[in-house]
Amino acid sequence: MGEKKRILIVEDASYMRDMLVEMLEQEEGSYEVVGFAVNGKEAVEKYKELKPDIVTMDLVMEVMDGIQAIREIKKYDPNALIIAISALGTPEQKKAALDAGAEEYLWKPFTIKNLFDALEKLLRKREE
């Protein structure tokens, strides 16, 4: 894998942030959590500040929702890699997230395997 992938976690629920950190720590050699954001607005700011390789983006948040944040980040950096994460899982929401520029859509609840499958898929797609 070489270099560790720097990850920005955008999530309003602290227990979800904690869990994502725990999950990513399981593959410490590959991923490093570089920062958190609790809403879309903060996510955009943090993205500009940290320039992470990957963003996990919760979609239902206050202040600015995930879809809007994905759009802003993509506008800032069209090459940004974003995994959208949501408990809603409706086809409409999934489509909106992918249209906004997210590469993957992860439906809560998900297992650790689901998460790494999505990340790998994301990176493979980028390498291609």
Instruction: Please state the closest distance from residue 60 (CB atom) to other proteins, in A.
Output: 6
Q: Do 54 and 122 touch, CB atoms closer than 8 A?
A: yes
Could you list the residues that contact other proteins (CB under 8 A)? 13, 15-16, 19, 22-23, 26, 60, 86-89, 91, 108-115
**Of the two residues 47 and 56, which places its CB atom closer to other proteins in the complex?**
56
Nearer to other proteins, 79 or 111 (CB): 111
Q: How far is CA 120 from CA 3, 31, 40, in A?
A: 14, 11, 24
Structural contact between residues 35 and 50, judged by C-beta atoms closer than 8 angstroms: yes
Q: CB 63 → other proteins: shortest distance, Å?
A: 17
Of 57, 11, 54, give the one whose Cα is nearest residue 31: 54
Helical H segments across the chain, by residue range: 14-25, 40-50, 66-76, 91-100, 112-127
Q: How many angstroms separate the most distant Cα atoms in the chain? A: 37
Minimum CB distance to other proteins, residue 52 (Å): 21
Kindly tell me which of 9 and 23 has the beta carbon lying closer to other proteins: 23
Q: How far is the CB of 20 from other proteins (least distance, A)?
A: 8
> What separation, in Å, do the N-terminal and C-terminal C-alpha atoms of the chain show?
15
The residue (of 19 and 64) whose beta carbon lies closer to other proteins is 19
